[in-house]
Amino acid sequence: MADTPADVVPAAPSRVTGSRVLPAPMGRQWLPGTLRAPLVIGLAVLALAVVVGSVGAYVFLPTATAVITPREAAIGPVPLRIVASTTATEPDPVTRTVPAQTKTLDVEASQTFTVTGKRVEETEAKGTVRFRNKDFTSTNTIARGSIVSTQSGIRFQTDRAVTVPRAELVGLQVFPASASVKVTAVKPGSDGNVEPNTILVIPRGEDPLTLDVTNPDQTSGGKRDEFPRVVQADLDAATKALDEGLAAAFAEKLADPALVADGSTVFPGTASLGTATYTLDPASLLGDEVGTFDLGASASGTVLAVDESSVQVVAEANIANQVEAGYALVEGSSTIDKSPAQVEDGVILFPAIITARQVLLLDPTAIEAEIRGKSLAEAQSVLDGYGTAELSVWPDWVGTVPTLDARVEVRTTEAAS
């Protein structure tokens, strides 16, 4: 006990051998608090290094950026035939029909017509002729209706038969016998009024050596009176003139700018004028003895008009229908080439040709996932399938697209207009 240093504590018996182990001197013992502090400091430094490394990795690891101008495709040319229909109430892109409006036009015409027909009253001239028989051997009977005439050819016929006695012979001198009979002009009119002693031609077959004739007095009473009278030809001419007047008035109204004041387009090829209605029945005028007559007529006509802006609506809607799945219509790229409207059998047709451009719709997030981890050549090939693409990486010596989604960016530009 005397050899044991004062600062040495006796060793406790060993649990294995039962012998005592001498403890370390009190001045060199490692306490638990002294061992924990360097360990904590070391772990903190390590954690800081990890954080700093992570930040550095985020900042300085490779990045890839792709800018894509989406692929475009042409639409058309697509020919269209848009039809105007009076039963349509609004533009229908499916049936390609547009509304047609029926415009009604009322027209009138009237005129005074001169009568060309006539009613004629004629009277035959009458008078008396005297026959002389110079034949002393026999009488001479002139039959009824026998013709006598003037030397100018105006003829008369006897109203009855007449017998002229035979002449008297006194010595060597012959005294003719005479007989008179009334005559009537063969043709009525004033030409039968002839002067006295002008009817000198005896009936055919009589002997001028034994018979002569004359009219002691003027024949008279022959006349011809004309009265204007409406005939069918007058009525036909009147109705024809009125129909032409209605047609002219209808054409004038079709050309009136006021007809399209609503902005519509009128198609004269669809115009139709109805049947004329007259102010009175023309047939009722037939036979009227008037010099002129008044007649008027009216009719209703129709014509189709179309608001051509509706044609544009249908054509544009049909452009949208032509856009392929996965594409969008390029705004402002649509063109509609409309030919002049055609009228076929009263139907209005609007031929048109539509063209446009469509652009591929892109999903940048999906494209990013598609190119991550690929070589630059493979990634460029993928991007080229979507349009015109520019792929850039940093640093520029990197040969593959990063796999981290945060290190890859895909952007799209607007399609060229």
State the pLDDT at residue 18: 40
What is residue 22's predicted lDDT score, i.e. its pLDDT? 43
Ramachandran class of 390: left when φ > 0, alpha when ψ lies in -120 to 50, beta otherwise: beta
3-state secondary structure of 23: coil
pLDDT of residue 276: 97
- Specify the pLDDT at position 194: 98
User: Percent of the chain having pLDDT more than 70?
Assistant: 85
CA nearest to 352, candidates 371, 370, 332, 337: 337
Separation of alpha carbons 383 and 364, rounded Å = 11
DSSP letter string, 93-157: TTTTEEE-EEEEEEEEEEEEEE---EEEEEE--EEEEEEEE--SS--EEEPTT-EEEETTS-EEE
Give the contacts of 248 (CB within 8 A, at least 6 positions apart): 109
Q: Give the whole-angstrom CA distance, residue 266 versus residue 250.
A: 13
Angstrom CA distances, 7 to 2, 10, 14, 26, stand at: 12, 10, 21, 7
What pLDDT digit, counting tens, does each position of 97-115 carry? 999 999 999 999 999 999 9
Q: Are 414 and 387 in contact (CB under 8 A)?
A: no
**Distance, CA of 107 to CA of 103 (rounded, Å):** 13
CA distances from 12 to 8, 80, 85 (A): 12, 112, 119
Which residues of the chain are modeled with pLDDT < 70? 1-38, 40, 42, 44-45, 47-60, 415-417
Asked if 131 and 201 count as a contact pair (C-beta separation under 8 A), the reply is no
d(CA 206, CA 79): 99
Angle, nearest 10°, between helix axes 364-371 and 376-384? Answer: 150
* SS3 state of residue 347: strand
- The rounded distance, in Å, linking the Cα atoms of 61 and 401 is 11
Spatial distance between the Cα atoms of 373 and 402, rounded to a whole number of angstroms: 5
